[in-house]
Structure 1
Amino acid sequence: MKFKYYIIPLLVSLMYSCGEGPDYTNVIPKNSAMVVAFDLDDMSEKGGLSGPDANEELLSKLEETVKSGLTGSEKLVSKIFDDTSESGLELEEKVYLFAGEQASVGGIVAKVNSRRKLEKVIDELCSQQICGPVQEADGCKWTVVGQWLLAYSKSAVVLAADNKGLEPENLVSQASMWLRQKEGEGFSASTDFKQIQQKDGDIVAWTTLEVLPREAVYPLTMGVSAELQLKDVKAISTINFEKGKTAVDVETIVDDKIMSEIMEKKSKVTAPVKGTYLDLFPSKTDLWVTANLKGEEFFSFICENPTVRRIFQSSLIPVDFKSIFNAIDGDVAMSMDRNGQDFIVFADINSDGFLKSFESLKTMAAMTGGQVVLKNYGDNGYSFRTHDGSLVGLRKGPVSLWIGVKDNKLYLTNKESLIDRKVLGLSLRNREWGTRVTGQKFFMSSNLSSLNKLLDLNHLNGTMASALAFFGGLDYLTVESSDGKNIHIEILMKDKEKNPLTMIFN
């Protein structure tokens, strides 16, 4: 196998950052909260590192880069670049990334095809003082590479680290236990692993809510029964790098009864999108999101969560939120500019009776001595202004809002000109994805081309510029769900003829 492959990322990570035996996948810990499988063989070919279209110039540059970090080891590097099996690793097999609960401990598992060759590579790294001397304990050999523990046996190698500050040496016992696991003892014996194996993708990621930090999960589960089992709320994401785009398919797998009931309720308060608002937004809209809501049922659903219910009940703005939601019945759409400042929301409604509640608020606003101003706007709307939004529970600083009904549609915006804006040219319906919106339970599009300006790539050079140039080459992102449960994501490149991996490796 020529090195027009994938050894580069692994070698570089070793620079900077245990013959035949048991199946190397047995090493993956049984209690993993996340497992990601990488098909490096396929990815290397798509990225121009192997196959008939291999980029020889790129390979040469990468080889020289590795050699420059391993002075005195040029012959070994050349040998590995010519034949990856000289690394001692079998990289035609998948490489696995794993993480435990709250991602406290994570690692990478790969197959060893020659412990002798692997040790030769490690000896070279040791001579460059990239890692420490190899030691032996509990039936495996190990060394430390930066903050990582590198442990190996005759069939597998694991590179592990603790993200809470535990010294790598303290992971030796745990790593040796993983390396000694037999058939049926590790994660590979689970039905979840079998599902990973059945998926066809460059990258396949199996995750559970257990992998997230508690502070991230808490807002999502607050008010939900304590009997909710985070490990039983799972997803399998399949990622494929295609010409001009990256496609991601996320399949949710919920074995927890409580979460299943919540998702079932959520499904009943939404309906397929009609595409009502595709024509009201110009094709170059930075961020656009749409869904179809049964407003009354939706409000009752979200208020089942005590945290959300308290937000509405304790709001400093005495608005009848329930009557507003009850009026919504159909498509809802929101747009926002690239700076996340100017926005507008439109919604189909069945009644404008909720606006009457704003009349009583005008008197209250008048009592603030000008700190809050609420007055009529047009025939069926109101404008709200305050010099300090924190007075009413909003962000600090000046705040202006307009809310009303026009053409049987609710509008809410912080920029007056957006209310009557006319689309003079192409609309969102004319976008490449415009025909995919109708019938979805959720659809979002985000313009990514502005990342080039945000990252200011012209003022960067070297490795950082190369890395960020990939983001500068992005065009737009779409996220859609036809059933409210499974999600399809596409990340499009400006250059529709190149595979994203080519951009990354370049």
Structure 2
Amino acid sequence: MAKKMISRLSVLTVLIVFLTACSKTSEYTNVIPADASVVASINLKFLASKAGLNDKENETAKQKVLEALKSGMNAATFQQLEKVMKNPSESGIDIESPFYVFSSSSFPYPTVVGKVSNEDNLHASLDMMAKEQICQPISEADGYSFTTMTGSLLAFNSSTVLVVNVSGTTQTEKAKEAITNLLKQTADNSIVKSGAFQKMEKQKSDINFLASMEAIPATYRNQISMGLPTEVKTEDITLVGGLNFEKGKIALKTENYTENEAVKALIKKQMESFGKANNTFVKYFPSSTLMFLNIGVKGEGLYNLLSENKEFRNTISI
């Protein structure tokens, strides 16, 4: 009896593990290419709350919009629109999760990535848009569904939705082919494995972002890198930051990120060249000043840093 019970429990355990593995959906951020030079995550929930879109006084405005649209739609289309207006999650897209925007050389089309909460609801929302001739009827591709609208290709599967900015039939077809590969990516061959991305994800800002120096046009990047030690490569330096919208102000916080030890040493020396500003000269600037920059510099540290710069030594005699 005991052996039979253990046998049944073992079979049940294996079955549960198997079903869990089969039902697991891939993380939607896995579609962002590993070579993405710029990535931003946008928390629409935070932004909507700060903008007051969820306030009671805006409910009347939403209702007026619905009434205005009702007369020009059939009953089924209006019913779907009303559901989405009252509860955006009914669209099938998870608005609680961040949306991502990225720029990549391997997928050279401006793209927004979102998380799908319910594929059937998303399908219904797009069917409604197709009936109103906002987009084309949904079609099937290799591993995903898609529709097109003016200047955009929208592709989705059970976990991920992408809105890709494309121009013309040729770009659209190339993007459709590339999307198949993007949706098959795992964390190991996407931006998710990047330390800079992981650091960005830990931030709690309204908009988080990372930007590699590779994103800077070559003309300016060459000027910036001029005089850097040979072991310091621009692609090894990434700016990670966050943007917060507060009452009466916008707060921006950034820091450099690198895994290159030579770059880390250089940044450390740079930080040692600066200190807390003592505001000695602030009193000489009029109150009407439009912009003011105040930096505390440690003379000896800055001198040592400049002395090690070959380009600076060749240009200026010390």
Q: With structure 2 as the length reference, what TM-score do the two structures score?
A: 0.76
In structure 2, distance between residues paired with 1:63 and 1:246? 33
Structure 2 residue 100 is matched with structure 1 residue 96 = yes
Structure 2 distance, partners of 1:287, 1:180, is: 49
| 1:169 corresponds to 2:173 | yes
Name the SS for the 1:289 alignment partner.
coil
Distance of 1:252 and 1:296 partners within structure 2: 20
1:142 Cα deviation from its structure 2 partner: 1.8
Deviation at 1:151, TM superposition (A): 1.0
Per the alignment, residue 105 of structure 1 pairs with: 109
| Structure number with higher strand proportion | 1
User: Which residue pairs with 2:235 in the alignment?
Assistant: 231
CA-CA distance at 1:81 after TM superposition: 0.5
Q: Residue 304 of structure 1 aligns to which amino acid in structure 2?
A: N
Q: What is residue 458 of structure 1 aligned with on the other side? A: none
Q: Tell me which moved more, 265-274 or 75-84.
A: 265-274
Matched, 1:25 2:66: no
- 2:309 aligns with one of 304, 319, 338: 304
Residue from 168, 173, 182 that aligns with 1:178 = 182
**Cα drift, residue 89 of structure 1:** 0.9
Equivalent residues in 2 for 1:343-358, closer than 5 Å: none
Task: Compare 229-238 and 178-187 and name the one that shifted more.
Answer: 178-187
Q: Using the alignment, how far apart are the partners of 1:182 and 1:263 within structure 2? A: 33
One of 75, 80, 83 as aligned partner of 1:76: 80
Q: CA deviation at 1:150?
A: 1.2
Q: Which has the larger Rg?
A: 1
C-alpha distance 176-272 of structure 1, shift in aligned 2 (>3 A): same
Shift of residue 280, structure 1, vs aligned partner:
0.9
- String of CA shifts for 1:95-132, please: whole Å, max 9, x gaps: 22222149943311111122222122222333444333
* Structure 1 unaligned residues grouped into runs of 5+: 1-18, 314-320, 327-506
How far apart, CA to CA, are the structure 2 residues paired with 1:268 and 1:61?
A: 59
Return the alpha-carbon distance in structure 2 between the equivalents of residues 226 and 166 of structure 1. 41
Count matched residues.
292
What is residue 13 of structure 2 aligned with on the other side?
none
Q: CA deviation at 1:257?
A: 3.9
Matches within 5 A, 1:334-373: none
Aligned residue among 202, 205, 210 for 2:209: 205
For residue 252 of structure 2, give the secondary structure of its aligned residue in structure 1: strand
Mapped contact 1:80–1:87 kept (Cα < 8 A) = yes
Specify the code of the residue in structure 1 equivalent to 2:293: V
1:291 aligns with 2:309: no
Paired with 1:236 and 1:89, the residues of 2 have a C-alpha distance of 27
Give the secondary structure class of the aligned counterpart of 2:53: coil
Q: Which amino acid letter does the alignment assign opposite residue 28 of structure 1? A: I
Name the structure 2 match of 1:37.
41
CA distance in 2, matches of 1:74, 1:130: 14
Secondary structure at 1:205 match in 2: strand
TM-score relative to the length of structure 1:
0.50
Aligned residue type for 1:217? R
Structure 2 runs not aligned, ≥5 long: 1-22
Which residue matches 1:123?
Answer: 127
- Name the residue aligned to 1:56: 59
Equivalents in 1 of 2:304, 2:134: separation in Å? 58
Counterpart of 1:132 in structure 2 is 136
CA contact (8 A) 1:104 1:162 kept: no
Per the TM alignment, residue 48 of structure 1 is displaced from its structure 2 partner at its CA by 1.0
Q: 1:296 to 1:155 in 2, by over 3 A?
A: closer
Q: What is the Cα deviation at residue 287 of structure 1?
A: 1.6
Take 1:230 and 1:54, find their aligned partners in 2: how far apart are those partners? Answer: 50
Alignment of 1:84-483 (within 5 A): 84-101=88-105, 104-161=108-165, 167-225=171-229, 227-293=231-297, 294=299, 297-298=302-303, 301=306, 304=309, 306=311
RMSD: 3.6
**Could you say which residue in structure 2 is the equivalent of 1:9?**
none
Distance 1:63 1:249, change over 3 A: farther
Secondary structure at the counterpart of residue 244 of structure 2: strand
Query: Which structure has the higher relative contact order (CA within 8 Å, separation 6+)?
Result: 2
Q: In the TM superposition, what whole-angstrom CA distance separates every residue of 1:44-82 from its partner, at most 9, and x where no partner exists?
A: 1121112x55633554576689x59x9665443222101
Q: 1:74 to 1:135 in 2, by over 3 A?
A: same
Shift of 1:282: 1.8
